[in-house]
Chains A and B, each alone.
Chain A
């Protein structure tokens, strides 16, 4: 491979070029083979320490990162905000500086504030891997989504990928958009106009408030979770109306091409954005996304650790 990874952090796919994204995906393909072996552990991060700092709660992403770290033989510490000194009024920067002072190599962090990782990264010498920040970025989710698309479709260039739902508040959408555009996919965003900003059109993205129009030429449909609390803040009238007008169900699935794949980053609101019969149906790749997440996170940790080794001390 001619290109090498030089970044000490993974903050967002906005910061990466197509070659760097492909490098992560190619590396993930190698690690996926490891996960299919009888012995699933490799010594790549032996002697390295990774801290999982979850300032915002998470189950699936944290579990996936933790397992990826174990499979790479890293030493792991998990810190949850609820039990950390952040609760005692310590600033985030102080908390992470203290973690760094323990010669930790990589901090995997999730935070509810957009840009929290961008704020920390230049102030630290350890690596920062973004496990989600507010509505800004969730790069490993987008990478695993794209990995899954490539696995099923053989590539992403020229594919029509539609993302449906609450785009406004979605870090998954903001990450997928950058990754997909950089790799040459055609992106459509769909959902209620209150949740799908027209501003995205300036990036060459199609924005639709009509479900049929949004999905009819899609090779991939990626559905986002609709959060019930949005209804209270007047973005749409009710979850039943959402399910009826913008949800993918027995009635609306007929707009989707037969060979289109159905994705969802989870957790699913069954019967709201996605009917159970589709979530569990033959076109769904939802659980394969979860499996691929492990390989993608192993690849990211491996590349970030490698760049830290190369950095002058």
Chain B
């Protein structure tokens, strides 16, 4: 660590979406906060030429697996993986074991995150007790405890009346309701998207309508109750159209998309590789293109990983028997940079916004900016460098990625949380801080 924790990031391109900044300039860091570099003339200058400095990335959707499934991931390994992926903040999904539906379990997570976590961990509580979709959690007390959002992620509340009441109640505490939209009956025991490839492969399909019906339900109830609702891992074209249309009418809806739904389709399943198995499932090219359009026109404000670690043993089975989910923290940026910026669907500042101001706005937290006085959470990446995914070098405890061996453009070079470097890749100057 540099003397008295003051330094200047110099010679880099700075992208700060909140102020529309995209220029070569210096960033001063002092005592964990962003400062005007001219106020710290004697501070060490860190050369980041060739790199972009952006506000620290925020992941709205991380499964820590602790407590309950520390074979797959721990708070230490998840936050280290987040740092390696350029994320300075993550939102912890509550479907741990026990479920984070009470202050005791949340306190356990907060304690470990404070003591062992290397990035900021925002807490999220479940909508219903034990994720059963039957009784709402103590939403008011959980807000007092400090949760930033509510979700039953991995499950979806099927009872519409209960969902209506949860929304009404949550809105009085100004907590956004995050939803994993899935109609359980339509999804049935499906294992992949219902379409051309499920027809050829004989794997049981999940129709897009399973997501779209619940998106429609949520939009109707959000409008009726005037509640903020956030559609998690939006995957179908029909869902994007509904969100776009509802937003126009003034419904308080936001949405996130995952790197895998942006970059992969159901055709990948012809390998029967369970690292392509997740919920919602990979869809057809038409759906993929609509997700990208939704990102481009602002319908979808955030990219979120849905980082879902599973052990090798649990994934190394027949496709039907493998659990849903893939890891994503360490591949999100290269995948999205390649699929969205290299292919000219988004500008680089637009992509940065999907990782920063987008998620910060959804959470309503003060993060995702390089404004003077803000917490010095900074992500440094190279848009030129190649990144070859090598799961054996993951910081995550799990390696269930569909991208192993693939080469992408765009590489995370350094991650700074509250002024402290928590990750650096070939950026030796940063490593000396």
A residues at B contact (CB < 8 Å): 14, 91-93, 111-116, 118-119, 133-137, 169, 171, 174, 197, 199-200, 202
| CB-defined contacts of A135 to chain B, threshold 8 Å | 202-204
| CA A200 to CA B195, docked complex, whole Å | 10
Q: Cβ of B343 < 8 Å from any Cβ of A?
A: no
Instruction: Name the contact of B199 in the complex, choosing from A116, A118, A137, A197 (C-beta under 8 A).
Output: A197
Contact B195 A113 (CB under 8 A): no
| CA A137 to CA B272, docked complex, whole Å | 13
| CA A133 to CA B195, docked complex, whole Å | 20
Instruction: Name the contact of A199 in the complex, choosing from B195, B316, B321 (C-beta under 8 A).
Output: B195
Q: Cβ of B201 < 8 Å from any Cβ of A?
A: yes
| CB-defined contacts of B195 to chain A, threshold 8 Å | 199
| CA A289 to CA B272, docked complex, whole Å | 31
Can you give 12 A-B contacts (C-beta < 8 A)?
A91-B313, A93-B316, A112-B320, A114-B201, A115-B319, A118-B272, A119-B317, A119-B319, A133-B202, A137-B202, A174-B202, A199-B196
| CA A200 to CA B271, docked complex, whole Å | 20
Contact B320 A113 (CB under 8 A): yes
| CA A171 to CA B321, docked complex, whole Å | 19
| CB-defined contacts of A136 to chain B, threshold 8 Å | 201-203
Instruction: Name the contact of B203 in the complex, choosing from A111, A115, A119 (C-beta under 8 A).
Output: A115
Q: Cβ of B318 < 8 Å from any Cβ of A?
A: yes
| CB-defined contacts of B316 to chain A, threshold 8 Å | 91, 93
| CB-defined contacts of A111 to chain B, threshold 8 Å | 318
- Given A92-B317, A113-B320, A113-B321 in contact, is the A119-B202 Cβ separation under 8 Å? no
Min CB distance B187 to A, Å, is 14
| CB-defined contacts of B202 to chain A, threshold 8 Å | 114, 133-137, 169, 171, 174
Q: Contact flags (1/0) for B261-301 with A, using CB distance below 8 Å?
A: 00000000001101000000000000000000000000000
Instruction: Name the contact of A200 in the complex, choosing from B199, B272, B313, B320 (C-beta under 8 A).
Output: B199
Min CB distance B317 to A, Å, is 6
| CB-defined contacts of B200 to chain A, threshold 8 Å | 14, 174, 199
Contact A115 B272 (CB under 8 A): yes
Min CB distance B114 to A, Å, is 38
| CB-defined contacts of B272 to chain A, threshold 8 Å | 114-115, 118-119
Q: Which residue of B lies closest to A133 (CB)?
A: B202
| CA A171 to CA B200, docked complex, whole Å | 10
| CA A124 to CA B196, docked complex, whole Å | 30
Instruction: Name the contact of B318 in the complex, choosing from A14, A116, A171, A174 (C-beta under 8 A).
Output: A116
- Given A199-B195, A199-B196 in contact, is the A119-B201 Cβ separation under 8 Å? no
| CA A286 to CA B359, docked complex, whole Å | 63
Instruction: Name the contact of A93 in the complex, choosing from B199, B317, B319, B320 (C-beta under 8 A).
Output: B317
Min CB distance B228 to A, Å, is 37
Contact A119 B199 (CB under 8 A): no
Contact A115 B199 (CB under 8 A): no
Min CB distance B207 to A, Å, is 12
